[in-house]
Structure 1
Amino acid sequence: MDMKLEVVVVPVSDVDRAKEFYSVLGWREDADFSADDGLRVVQFTPPGSEASVIFGDRVTSAEPGSAQGLHLIVSDIEAARAELAGRGIDVSDAFHDAGGVFHHAGNEARVAGPHPDGADYGSFASFSDPDGNEWVVQEVTTRAPGR
Structure 2
Amino acid sequence: MDLKLEVVVLPVSDVDRAKAFYEALGFRLDVDHVADDTYRVVHLTPPGSSCSVLFGTGVTTAAPGSVQGLHLVVTDIKAARADLVARGVGVGEIFHDAGGVFHRGTREGRVGGPHPERASYGSFAAFSDPDGNGWVLQEVTTRLPGR
Per the TM superposition, whether the score is higher than 0.5 is: yes
Report the Cα distance in structure 2 between the residues aligned to 1:123 and 1:112, rounded to whole angstroms: 10
Unaligned 5+ segments in structure 2 are: none
Larger deviation: 97-106 or 115-124?
A: 97-106
- Cα deviation, residue 101, structure 1: 3.4
Letter in 1 for 2:98: A
TM-score, normalized by length of structure 1?
0.97
Which SS does the other structure have where 1:126 is aligned? strand
Residue matched to 1:36: 36
1:105 positional shift: 1.0
Please state whether the residue corresponding to 1:60 is helix, strand or coil.
coil
- What does residue 145 of structure 1 align with? 145
- Measured after TM superposition, the shift of residue 110 of structure 1 is 0.8
What is residue 69 of structure 1 aligned with on the other side? 69
Q: Which moved more, 1:123-132 or 1:92-101?
A: 92-101
Amino acid at match of 1:141: T
Specify whether residues 101 and 142 from structure 1 end up closer, same or farther in structure 2 by C-alpha distance, changes over 3 A only: closer
- State the Cα RMSD in Å: 0.9
Q: What corresponds to 1:107 in structure 2? A: 107
Secondary structure of the residue aligned to 2:23 is helix
| In 2, Cα distance between equivalents of 1:122 and 1:41 | 35
**AA partner of residue 120 (structure 1):** S
SS of the counterpart of 1:35? strand
Q: Does 1:45 align with 2:40?
A: no
Q: SS of the counterpart of 2:36? A: coil
Please report the TM-score for the alignment, with normalisation by the length of structure 2. 0.97
Provide the residue aligned with 2:135 in structure 1: 135
Q: Structure 1 stretches (4+) deviating beyond 3 angstroms?
A: none
The correspondence of residues 7-22 of structure 1 with structure 2, limited to 5 A, is 7-22=7-22
Q: Which runs of 5+ in 1 are unaligned?
A: none
Indicate the percent of aligned positions where both proteins have the same amino acid.
69
Q: How many residues align?
A: 147
Distance apart, 1:36 and its partner CA: 2.9
1:37, distance to aligned residue in structure 2 (A)? 6.0
* Matching of residue 78 in structure 1 with residue 78 in structure 2: yes
Which digits, 9 at most, give the CA deviation of each residue in 1:65-119, with x for residues without a partner? 0000000000000000100000010001110011113111132211000000111
Structure 1 residue identity aligned to 2:28: R
Query: Which residue of the partner structure matches residue 98 of structure 1?
Result: 98
